[in-house]
């Protein structure tokens, strides 16, 4: 899937060589890497820098100019032999974008005289020099290999680079303060700026004024028709579609008018308590539609939730959602529908829920309904606009990037699945299973004061997310995952 709101990546591959080693090693090994990548993956994702092999500072400048001219927004520094630690790290320093370092393995026992490159050793020098220069670069877990090995590592770098580029050109647009009793969705601004993200915070009154100006927008009819086609038999509240279409156009026009010099946008929107009574609906379905187009929209002005959704969209090239880590699975449901069918303990399961913000493409089935919780205290007609139903089963990754109240970055990643179990409940909802979720819930989510919102990517993307969070500067001690039972958390009582 390709979204206009997500960057495309083009990696410039620059081979480097130390002058006392054969330059031909770097040339031939670079060609082999490009050939291996082009055979297995999309060749448009890479560019082979043919200008020179970087041995000196002047050649570094030539290579830098060449890859910029070719439109590269990511860099692969490839040690075909030992490599020149100064020139190669200067290249990384002066390239404005994500960068990966890879090193060539020796090919055969018959070429260990004149054909030995020693890049295994050279990468150690490169990593040391990068630290001396305070240059961040991505070095994968297996950075030394043959052409096929490194083509795979380079391909794994693509989504990480995509997210890094996206963050550097992202603006988060928010409307209104957090609802009362939602202090957990705090959003210290400093770390957004540290990540390269811009933010525009607006009043709900600004949004309401813009919405009213769209009342007679001639595009409303065509958007209503799109909604009718998407909902099909699930169009249970047809009377609300015109207002929802008016709101969708308001948000899209706001994005175009306010994104300024940034290329990509995410929205953190207000959805209660005054939204329903003033706008006359709830925005959940519109949120789901924009997220389905690669424009993440978080609920309850959750700015770091919107940020997390955008990251997941870049990493997965797919639709994401934002859910409450909401309620436990009743024991009778577990016994009837899960025990003996799936290899999960009761404590591994929970329900993820939100009012109706998950894209229809990720639902088993869905209907337009009213928001049940809000309708307990408000007229039902102003609570229409949720997309409700069970979310489709399959692999998922639950994750979140968050700034703490004192401005420190923190993140978690946990892989699991949505089970094919009927929820018998309301909202956009599913029964989730994550191995050792009970311990993860207590010793990560509670212990480290995470809010109740978590982003959900539809697939297993833990490896890329974990590496990305390390790359952007989340301390390893604050980068958590659902640890196996054999690996206790620091706060876990050992006397069980």
Does residue 351 register a pLDDT over 80? yes
pLDDT score recorded for residue 345: 97
- Rounded mean pLDDT, 306-321: 97
Q: Quick one: CATH architecture of 169-481? A: 3-Layer(aba) Sandwich (3.40)
Encode pLDDT of 101-134 as tens digits: 999 988 888 777 787 778 889 899 999 999 999 9
pLDDT at 417 over 70: yes
Decide the pairing of beta strands 453-457 and 320-327: antiparallel
- For residue 442, what are its two tokens? 């207590």
| Per-residue model confidence as pLDDT tens digits over 234-244 | 998 999 999 99
Q: What is the pLDDT of residues 426-464, one digit of tens each?
A: 999 999 999 999 999 999 999 999 999 999 999 999 999
pTM, two decimal places: 0.94
Angle (nearest 5°) at CA 248 between 455 and 203? 75
Q: Locate tokens 């959940």: which residue?
A: 284
Give CATH 3.40.275.10 domain extents, the chain: 169-481
Position 56 pLDDT exceeds 90: no
Q: Which CATH number fits domain 11-167: 3.40.50.10940, 3.40.710.10, 3.20.20.70, 3.40.50.300?
A: 3.40.50.10940
Instruction: Inform me whether the pLDDT recorded for 55 exceeds 90.
Output: no
Over residues 20-28, the mean pLDDT reads 82
- Which of 26-30, 149-153, 166-170, 472-476 is predicted with the least confidence, judged by mean pLDDT? 26-30
Cis peptide before 349 (omega within 30 of 0): no
Whole-angstrom CA distances from 26 to 10, 102, 118, 487 are 21, 12, 11, 42
Does the pLDDT value for residue 182 go beyond 70? Answer: no
In this prediction, residue 273 has a pLDDT band, given cuts at 50, 70 and 90, of: confident
Those residues whose C-beta lies under 8 Å from the C-beta of residue 409, and which sit 6 or more positions away, are 191, 194, 401, 402, 403, 472, 473, 474, 475, 478
Of 29-38, 74-83, 177-186, 241-250, least confident by mean pLDDT is: 177-186
Task: Give strand pairing partners of 418.
Answer: 394, 432
pLDDT in tens, 99-108: 999 999 888 8
- Residue 61 pLDDT: 95
**In this structure, are residues 350 and 326 in contact, taking their beta carbons and an 8 Å threshold?**
yes
Residues of the chain with CATH 3.40.50.10940: 11-167
């Amino acid at each position: 899937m390709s979204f206009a709101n997500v960057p495309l990546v083009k990696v410039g591959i620059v081979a480097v060589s130390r002058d006392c080693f054969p330059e031909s090693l770097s040339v031939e090994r670079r060609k082999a890497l490009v050939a291996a990548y082009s055979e297995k993956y999309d060749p448009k994702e890479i560019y082979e820098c043919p200008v020179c092999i970087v041995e000196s500072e002047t050649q570094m400048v030539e290579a830098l100019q060449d890859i910029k001219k070719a439109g590269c927004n990511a860099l692969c520094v490839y040690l075909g032999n030992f490599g020149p630690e100064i020139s190669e790290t200067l290249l990384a320093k002066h390239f404005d974008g994500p960068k990966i370092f890879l090193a060539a393995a020796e090919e055969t026992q018959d070429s260990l005289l004149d054909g030995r490159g020693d890049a295994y050793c050279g990468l150690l020098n490169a990593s040391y020099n990068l630290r001396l220069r305070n240059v961040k670069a991505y070095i994968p877990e297996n950075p030394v290999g043959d052409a096929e090995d490194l083509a795979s590592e380079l391909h794994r770098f693509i989504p990480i680079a995509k997210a890094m580029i996206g963050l550097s050109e992202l603006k988060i647009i928010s409307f209104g303060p957090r609802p009362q009793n939602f202090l957990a969705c705090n959003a210290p601004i400093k770390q957004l700026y540290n990540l390269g993200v811009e933010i525009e915070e607006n009043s709900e009154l600004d949004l309401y004024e813009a919405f009213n100006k769209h009342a007679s927008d001639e595009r409303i009819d065509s958007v209503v028709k799109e909604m009718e086609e998407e909902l099909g038999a699930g169009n249970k509240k047809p009377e609300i579609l015109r207002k929802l279409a008016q709101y969708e156009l308001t948000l899209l026009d706001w994005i175009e008018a306010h994104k300024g010099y940034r290329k990509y946008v995410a929205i953190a929107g207000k959805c209660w308590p005054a939204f329903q009574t003033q706008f006359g609906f709830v925005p959940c379905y519109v949120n789901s539609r924009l997220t389905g187009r690669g424009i993440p929209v978080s609920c309850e002005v959750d700015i770091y939730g919107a940020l997390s959704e955008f990251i997941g969209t870049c990493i997965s090239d797919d639709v994401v959602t934002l859910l409450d880590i909401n309620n436990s699975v009743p024991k009778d449901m577990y016994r009837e529908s899960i025990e003996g069918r799936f290899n999960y303990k009761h404590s591994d399961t929970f329900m993820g829920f939100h009012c109706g913000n998950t894209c229809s493409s990720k639902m088993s089935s869905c209907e337009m309904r009213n928001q049940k919780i809000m309708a307990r205290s408000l007229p039902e007609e102003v609570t229409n606009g949720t997309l409700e139903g069970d979310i489709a089963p399959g692999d998922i990754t639950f994750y979140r990037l968050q700034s703490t109240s004192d401005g420190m970055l923190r993140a978690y990643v946990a892989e699991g699945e949505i089970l094919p179990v009927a929820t018998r409940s309301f909202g956009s909802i599913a029964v989730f299973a994550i191995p050792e979720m009970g311990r993860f819930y207590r010793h990560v989510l509670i212990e480290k004061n995470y809010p109740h919102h978590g982003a959900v990517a539809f697939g297993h993307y833990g490896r890329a997310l974990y590496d990305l969070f390390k790359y952007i500067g989340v301390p390893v001690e604050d980068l958590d995952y659902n640890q196996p039972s054999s690996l206790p958390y620091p706060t876990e009582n050992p006397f069980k």
